[in-house]
Chains A and B, each alone.
Chain A
């Protein structure tokens, strides 16, 4: 599977990363080299193999569905690039 410029452009949009048009061919070349190398996985027979998700052997733990923390607006907003009162500031979203 070779990735063309249009696909790279679409992936950049999905990734929310602006890529200058001039940089697209180089990026496509790099990503194709990596994907070409990854392609060797297709030779492994994985029929009926249960996919492994997560890194641990044990099942995830359950906890009580209760509030354990909160009321820390100042601490949370302390690193915000822009704020208005107790809210994060962003460019106008709704016209």
Chain B
């Protein structure tokens, strides 16, 4: 067995038992990165030397018997998390060589628990996208390909495309990610790995480059449900530096993974049955329902009547918040600058050169919907519909404990497909975006393959702060699915 074959949970046991050293494990991942990253482009920055130094320190702690919960575990960090002393780009030209003088709370907690950072992972620019194609550092390739069409390169999804591709190809044992409309769950589903967006407020947003602050939430992408549970525990917890961080005890998520679903009521939202949905997605969903029923859950038909308005609502709320958040990139305090004859010209030229097309589009839409005369018709209206979407869920929780839905409306698509039509691209998040608007935990679990041999995922949505319930259902789906397929590009 090669070191990269070990899951995170298995690697912890092997490290504790000194069957493998942290240095050996880290070196195996660095070798895999050197071999596969030139093709996949999952990493923007690889911090090999720092990783080996951290691995040696981890080995000393393990030898002394006081390793942390993630001691010696090699992780990739989405390049949206500020890492002290390591360039942080948000996959945008506008950040230039920005090197944060401080550490995000989540990465600080991972370091506290002994994790080893391999480098910074590629993403859609400022996390705006569903294919990783908007990155200023080039697209990421999905390690999976179609059985009958192996030469067409597929997208890994987005925005956490680098995170999902790296975990699937085993060039990271786990990864941090963020999810504003589906950016953890959609790429996890496209790459055949697991990912959870926890409840809004569960993980600190301090030091995470902001996109849409009322929707952004960080979480892990990892090989399986248990690995996600282990990582989420280290990432979670109250942080006084984020005013939306919630002061609540962090449960032992791992203990919930094997709990089972006997007696649980699983809601099936009828509005998620979309016209034109591929038959394979519908069949997988039905299979998932059968698995949970067989495992002892009762299945309940529920209604979320405002589902069809979730994406249009999102495309007002998210750009509005983004236009405000991204005002800070002005070429004055940090990042790249293009000179101008006066300050206004400096701003306008810097932002024109620094932002990519999709980011500019969203800033301008956000500026428009917030501008005088349009605020009520667009922004206020969207906030009201958002309240109705949340109320749909509040009512559903009177009938069920968790929801089961497809994770995405399709399998991974080609790098050249859907890129010309923003609205077609936005529809990728149709099943995931509701959980962001309502602030709920949602998880994607690989559950099967389509006819072309590409992974498909199921999504579990839970009540606020009931990640344990989500993990229980996800664990049951994972055990029933027995998903063991592997991508063509793998360490």
A positions within 8 Å CB-CB of B: 1, 3, 7-8, 11-19, 27, 30-31, 33-35, 37-42, 44, 46, 49-58, 60-61, 63, 72, 75-76, 78-82, 88, 90-93
Contacts and interface: CB of A to CB of B under 8 A. Distances in A.
B439 A33 contact: no
A18 B339 CA distance: 13
A17 B422 contact: no
A50 to B, nearest CB: 6
A31 B441 CA distance: 31
B149 to A, nearest CB: 30
A62 B201 CA distance: 15
A57 B37 CA distance: 41
A58 B201 contact: yes
Given A38-B316, A58-B246, A79-B98, A27 B352 contact: no
A52 B364 contact: no
B483 interface: no
A14 B351 contact: no
A27 B367 CA distance: 14
Interface in B424-466: 436, 439, 464
B133 to A, nearest CB: 16
Contact of A81 (B201, B323, B336, B351): B336
Given A12-B364, A38-B312, 11 more contacts: A16-B351, A18-B349, A27-B364, A30-B361, A34-B315, A38-B378, A44-B385, A52-B383, A57-B439, A78-B99, A88-B332
A46 B348 CA distance: 38
Contacts of A51: 380, 383-384, 386-387
A41 B312 contact: yes
B343 interface: yes
A42 B439 contact: no
Interface in B188-213: 200-201, 213
B371 interface: yes
Contacts of B275: none
B49 interface: no
A55 B200 contact: yes
25 contacts: A1-B374, A3-B368, A12-B364, A15-B351, A17-B352, A18-B351, A30-B361, A33-B422, A33-B423, A34-B361, A38-B315, A41-B313, A44-B381, A49-B384, A52-B384, A53-B214, A55-B213, A56-B439, A61-B247, A72-B101, A78-B101, A79-B333, A81-B335, A91-B340, A91-B346
A30 B422 contact: yes
